[in-house]
Amino acid sequence: MEANKQSDGAKSVSQRIGIRLLEPQGYLDFLCLMKNAALVVTDSGGIQEETTCLGVPCVTVRENTERPITVTQGTNIIAGTDKEKIKEAIMCQRTRHRKGTVPPKWDGKAGTRIVAAIVQELQRKRLAADLESGSDLATTLSSEDMRVVSRK
């Protein structure tokens, strides 16, 4: 749980129900905590997305979300701010037999797809320019700078 340490009462309640209150964490440390969590409770839109990417069940304690795909993919439940609804959402997420699915193209390969799209567009423009100028099609298609090397 990312939270500022609060009153002794909050510490007492959190210890009784098995929650540790931590000082704010750096991004990578917090990402590691989320990745290894059984469940995340948040009010943050960014955290909703990250738990979806990680396949970690999430309960959002807000009345709405600007990330509806996290709900439709089954990784996130919007519980609102009512204590009973939050408790029900947590129990629902904890008893699920499967984690939600990661949305298409949320695979961390956006950069590769962007580069491929840019290269494809540059190749298209180069081909059009070469054909317009009367260059030989075979020469244009076999140019060394027209090849794309993909790393995995």
Verdict on whether the full-model pTM lies above 0.85 = no
- Greater pLDDT, 129 or 97: 129
The per-residue pLDDT for 116 is: 93
Between 128 and 60, the higher pLDDT residue: 60
What is the Cα–Cα distance from 47 to 56, expressed in whole angstroms?
Answer: 10
Mean pLDDT, rounded, for 118-124: 91
pLDDT given for residue 6 in this prediction:
56
Residue 98's pLDDT is what? Answer: 57
Instruction: Let me know if 22 is exposed, middle or buried by CB neighbors in 10 A (0-12, 13-18, 19+).
Output: middle
Question: What integer pLDDT is reported at residue 108 of this predicted model?
Answer: 83
**Confidence label for 105 from pLDDT (cuts 50, 70 and 90):** confident
Q: Which CATH superfamily, name and number, covers 8-95?
A: Glycogen Phosphorylase B; (3.40.50.2000)
Query: What count of other Cβ atoms lies within 10 Å of the Cβ of residue 135?
Result: 14
Local confidence band at 112 (pLDDT 50, 70, 90 cut-offs): very high
Give the mean pLDDT of 118-133.
86
In the chain, where the domains are located: 8-95, 110-146
pLDDT score at 152: 47
Whether 1 shows a pLDDT value over 70: the answer reads: no
Q: Could you read off the pLDDT of 25-61 as tens digits, one per residue? A: 999 999 999 999 888 999 998 999 999 888 899 999 9
Cβ burial of 21 (10 Å; 0-12, 13-18, 19+) is middle
Average pLDDT for the chain: 81
